[in-house]
Amino acid sequence: MTTADKILRAIEHAVDLANRPAVSPECRGRTFTACLAGTLDDCGPDAEAVAEKVFALGRPSAVEPTVDEQLGMDWWNSLTEKRRAHWLAKAGSAAPFAAWQAFRAAEDDLAQGG
């Protein structure tokens, strides 16, 4: 199965999960992102461009991001390429959402004196 096939299959699965009535609007973006996080790792240097296109498909334009999602997007957009690479490596993923989660975990660890 090619990377493109994997991504298409993941998109279909993620959209199905994210659009189920039991999934709250706040969780839809996270559900969609979590379903795709591992899939995008196979995209190599094109992962960021693929992620932007894929995530645009998964979020209806009328849905506003949650506060945490907006904080994550603002944080990501403020990073240099070197810092992005650092947090993606820490996350072990090519997904910006995973990098945001790794950053938040490190931030929480520092706040707890770790």
With a CB cutoff of 8 Å and minimum separation 6, the contacts of 55 are: 32, 33, 36
**Is residue 65 within 8 Å of 54, Cβ to Cβ?**
no
- Residue 16's pLDDT is 64
For the chain, the straight-line distance linking the first and the last C-alpha, in angstroms and rounded, comes to 42
Greater model confidence, 66 or 104: 104
Sign of the four-CA dihedral 78, 65, 56, 103: positive
pLDDT above 80: residue 102? yes
pTM of the model: 0.47
- Residue 89's pLDDT is 93
Highest mean pLDDT among 39-43, 49-53, 56-60, 107-111: 107-111
DSSP annotation string for 58-73: HS-TTSPPPHHHHHHH
Distance CA 31, CA 26 (A): 9
Distance CA 35, CA 8 (A): 12
